[in-house]
Amino acid sequence: MPEGNLIIIGSGLKCIVQFTLEAIAALERADKVFYCVADPATEGFIKEKNKSAVDLYQYYANGRLRYETYILMAEVIMEAVRAGQSVVGVFYGHAGNFVSPSRRAIAIAKSEGYSAKMLPGISAEDCLFADLLIDPSYPGAQTVEATDLLIRSRPILTSSHVIIYQVGVLGQLGFEFGGIKNDKFNHLVQRLLQEYGEGHPVINYKAAISPFSSPTIQRYIISELSNPEVQKTVDACSTFYIPPKALLPISDTATLVSLDKSGSVPLSPPLWWDPLNTSAPTLYGPKEAEVISNEGNHSPPEGYRRYSASPAMQKTVEQLVLDPNALEVYKRSPEVYTTSVHGLEPHEAKALASAKEGTIFSTMHEGLSDSGDTPTVVVVIVILGNHPP
């Protein structure tokens, strides 16, 4: 495999604070960094972390097709990879969510035999779920891009949450530093009127990008989107959220997955809050009161294992998670690396030397025998979602 490698990361939506620890570690370690972000504070943060950082925004130009810009961005990144450097590309939001040059660069790198990967980041959709208190698991969520929705006549799942990206640049393939016209917007309005009718609600959402601002959450009904003054509020940063028109009934399939349609099996209500404040979930019904009353004085059940890692074990695992250089050394010889760590309990040293994830994580909870035996497989399941409604 050639020497160069590529990692693509996202900077999140809000300046600086939405970088993940994993992304920052990659940023600091890179030989060369290229970035395209939305605010100068994030730009400065990137340059502080890595002096080699180069701004990709300079490849936009008035009248140039955005696809041509994306070709250039990807090629600049690949030139550094081909030169044998460890390269990081930083893109606004989640680097794989409506970001063409990031995917293009990874595809080219992989096709040429280089190591290339993308790290997860915080997207506009993640911010929307948080700011509007939307749970995509109930009753489901559909995400579409506005232009693609129209030109392919994609069906809209009106029984689910619907999120429409890029409503402010509909049908626009070019770029202008002064802003992109949205003169095709009424085509989207007509489609929404057809699917939902005039009185159905819609939210024009824009995530906050700094601590100096708040999220934009503008509530309209679909017929109001035809108003030129309302249309002025829709721009390149806008994402539309449309709540469900009607929920689907529980079908006969429920019996196939051991759910009782009659309701004799207790099912939790969906805890998604209506962002338009037209309804609110029932948080304390008879079932909830019964569960709380029956619990009484809580004591941990059999099978629960408390966190019990030594300070040395915790610090070592943190270092391996956050420092790619340390991880490389560890992977070359886990046994040798383990001997350099002081303060481990005997069973922790044995687990760390095994290089088995399940064994290592198991050792960090109480319940192991004094002999130092560790299980070879540990499965930890955390289910936080709703039961079917």
State the pTM of this model. 0.77
Q: Please write the tens of the pLDDT for every residue from 246-292.
A: 888 777 776 666 655 544 444 444 444 455 555 555 666 787 677 77
Number of domains in the chain: 2
The dihedrals phi and psi of 26, each to the nearest 5 degrees, come to -65, -40
pLDDT at 181 (0 to 100): 74
Q: Please answer whether residues 93 and 122 qualify as being in contact, where contact means their C-beta atoms are separated by less than 8 angstroms.
A: yes
Instruction: Specify whether 100 is located in the same domain as 150.
Output: no
Domain extent, residue 15, equals 5-122
Residue where a domain terminates, one of 77, 92, 122? 122
Domain check: are 167 and 227 in the same one? yes
Nearest in space to 205 (alpha carbons), one of 238, 244, 177, 247:
238
pLDDT at 375: 46
How much helix, strand and coil, in percent to the nearest 5, is found in the chain? 40, 15, 50
- Per-residue model confidence (pLDDT) at position 288: 66
At 186-239, the pLDDT tens digits run 999 999 999 999 999 999 999 998 877 899 999 999 999 999 999 999 998 999
**Residue 326, domain member (yes or no):** no
CATH of the domain at 145: 3.30.950.10
On whether both 39 and 131 belong to a single domain, the answer is no
DSSP state of 388: P
**Cβ neighbours for 61, distance < 8 A, ≥ 6 positions apart:** 69, 175
Is the domain of 138 the same as that of 177? yes
Same domain, 100 and 193: no
Question: Cβ neighbours of residue 38 under 8 Å, at least 6 residues apart?
Answer: 11, 13, 15, 92, 209
Q: Are residues 215 and 146 in the same domain?
A: yes
Are residues 39 and 150 in contact, defined by beta-carbon separation less than 8 angstroms? no
> Does 337 fall in a domain?
no
114 is catalytic: no
The per-residue pLDDT for 147 is: 92
Q: Which of 66, 82, 103, 305 is catalytic?
A: 66
Where does a domain end: 58, 90, 122?
Answer: 122
Would you say residue 234 lies in a domain?
A: yes
Q: Of these residues, 92, 114, 196, 337, which one is catalytic?
A: 92
**How far is 172 from 192, CA to CA, in rounded Å?**
19
Residues 71 and 86 in one domain: yes
Is residue 152, in this structure, part of any structural domain at all? yes
User: Strand, coil or helix: what is 134?
Assistant: coil
The answer to whether 66 is a known catalytic residue is: yes
Which pLDDT value is given to residue 195? 96
Residue 210 is predicted with a pLDDT of 82
CA 79 to chain centre: 29
Distance CA 178, CA 322 (A): 41
Domain boundary among 72, 102, 122: 122
Q: Which backbone phi and psi does 40 adopt, to 5 degrees?
A: -70, -25
Among the listed residues 60, 80, 71, 89, the one whose alpha carbon sits nearest the alpha carbon of residue 4: 80
Residue 215 and residue 196 share a domain? yes
Residue 310 maps to a domain: no
**Same-domain pairing of 62 and 132:** no
262 part of a folded domain: no
Confirm whether 386 is domain-assigned. Answer: no
Low-confidence ranges of the chain (pLDDT < 50): 262-273, 369-389
CA distance 204 to 235: 10
pLDDT the model gives residue 41: 87
Q: What is the pLDDT of residue 382?
A: 47
Whether 92 is a known active-site residue: answer yes
17 and 117 part of one domain = yes
Residue 369 belongs to some domain of the structure: no
Write down the pLDDT at residue 75.
93
Q: Please tell me which residue in 60, 70, 165, 330 is annotated as part of the active site.
A: 70
Task: Match 């909830």 to its residue by tokens.
Answer: 288
Place of tokens 């299980």: 375
Q: Tell whether 110 and 167 lie within a shared domain.
A: no
CATH number of the domain that residue 13 is part of: 3.40.1010.10
Strand ranges for 50-98 from DSSP E: 54-55, 86-91
pLDDT at 211: 76
111 in the same domain as 166 = no
**CA dist 23 → 28, 71, 73 (Å):** 9, 24, 20
